Amino acid sequence: MSIAENIKRIQSSIGEDVILVAVSKYSSDEAVEEAYEAGQRYFGENKAKDLKKRAAAMPDDIKWHFVGHLQRNKVKYVAPFIHCIHSVDSLRLLEEIDKQAAKEPRTIKCLLQIHIADEEAKFGLSEDEAVEILRSPELEEMSHVRIIGLMGMATNTDDLDKVRSEFKGLKAFFDRLHNLTEKADLPDDDDRAPTFPANVEMRTLSMGMSGDYDIAVEEGSNMVRVGSAVFS
């Protein structure tokens, strides 16, 4: 099947309310252009310097997502244009994103990456660590980042029940945080303290890749990151 057909098939299977991020990290510029011609506008990459080059050569209305581990010293390459960073796994990284975004100045959307797989190698925060970041006084001072949700990667396994239960766990955590952020909008005279700063809103749940996006969407994902199923 062609790239255009792949995109059409995946988008119709996930539904129009779920955002498809086409992960082009292993694909050529020509393949990205082909996807763009087919109407795709969200693309994901995982190498900051390569992405800087590619973004400069591609149409301006592409919304670039950073989906891999991001080192602090690479943030500067993507800060001028990146639409959303999916892989925030420390307060220090968030501080660097805020600092680089302030130079533009612009606001960068971020997702906290939560560790849900039982593999050592996958990056991400525990639930407690994520809550610690969301409640930190430092975050409140960051006016150039906006935390819009969570991202997670399931274990790479054929055991789809296991994958499903990992997605279910992340969705449950997402819902708990979402309910807390709703409380942040309480009127001034309400004596319950706001739970998270105003630059936190829990509305995006990025989970699902080529092998598991259908399960992820069934479990409540509203953003999938799909590479090989789009580009091969």
Ligand X SMILES: *Cc1c(COP(=O)(O)O)cnc(C)c1O
Q: 128 vs 124, 125, 148, CA distance in Å?
A: 12, 8, 18
β-strand pairing of 145-152 with 108-114: parallel
Nearest alpha-carbon partner for 17 in 204, 209, 226, 212 = 204
Which positions touch ligand X (CB under 6 A)? 23, 25, 46, 67-68, 153, 209-211, 225-229
> Measured from the CB of residue 33, what is the shortest distance to ligand X in angstroms?
19
* Closest residue to ligand X using C-beta atoms: 227
DSSP 49: H
CB of 98 to ligand X, least distance (A): 22
Cα radius of gyration rounded to whole Å, the chain: 18
- Least distance between ligand X and beta carbon 199 (Å): 23
In whole angstroms, give the CA distance from residue 4 to residue 149: 29
Residue number with CB closer to ligand X (101 or 224): 224
Closest to 49 measured CA to CA, from 32, 73, 21: 73
Six-digit token string for 191: 């004596």
Q: Measured from the CB of residue 126, what is the shortest distance to ligand X in angstroms? A: 18
Query: In the structure encoding, which two tokens stand for residue 214, read together?
Result: 């259908």
Least separation in angstroms between residue 28's CB and ligand X is 15
Choose between 94 and 209: whose C-beta lies nearer to ligand X: 209
* Choice between 74 and 99, CB closer to ligand X: 74
Joined together, the tokens standing for residue 74 give 């690479």
Residue with Cβ nearer ligand X (196 or 213): 213
Q: Which is nearer to ligand X, 62 or 67 (CB)?
A: 67
In the numeric block, which tokens belong to residue 77? 């390459």
